[in-house]
Amino acid sequence: MTNITLRAVKVLFALVIGLVGVTAPAGAGQAAVQAVCGDTSGFTRVNLSALPSQATDTVRLIRQGGPFPYRQDGSVFQNRERLLPLCSTGYYHEYTVKTPGSSTRGARRIVTGSAGEYFYTADHYASFRLVDIRA
């Protein structure tokens, strides 16, 4: 992709985001983003620094694009439990938050939304908290 094309894509993306009204709740920081396809105002918000340290490790990997420790990381999260805002398939992706001492992936996950939301679940999708990744 040429620099001009890349710049055009970035400008177009910024315009689209502005038009659809992706906003952060007051005082929540940019990471606690409002989903384009649903309301996140009812979610308990938590600072990344208040989660287990492994969540910070996972967020760091997500932001740098991997490499991820499990082949399932980055896969589409289906939202079968319907606890997150109801968005189109492919909007959410899931990532493992390692559980010390577990021989499996464990129950902890970070689920990201296409608008920049980060959700944390410690109980394998039974509940979610909206994460402010800047704190």
Q: Which helix (H) or strand (E) holds 19?
A: helix 3-20
| Spatial distance between the Cα atoms of 96 and 16, rounded to a whole number of angstroms | 30
| Spatial distance between the Cα atoms of 18 and 1, rounded to a whole number of angstroms | 24
Is residue 124 annotated as a catalytic residue, yes or no?
Answer: yes
Among residues 81, 93, 117, 124, the one annotated as catalytic is 124
| Spatial distance between the Cα atoms of 12 and 81, rounded to a whole number of angstroms | 33
AA identity, residue 22: V
Is residue 93 annotated as a catalytic residue, yes or no?
Answer: no
Enumerate the active-site residues: 94, 124
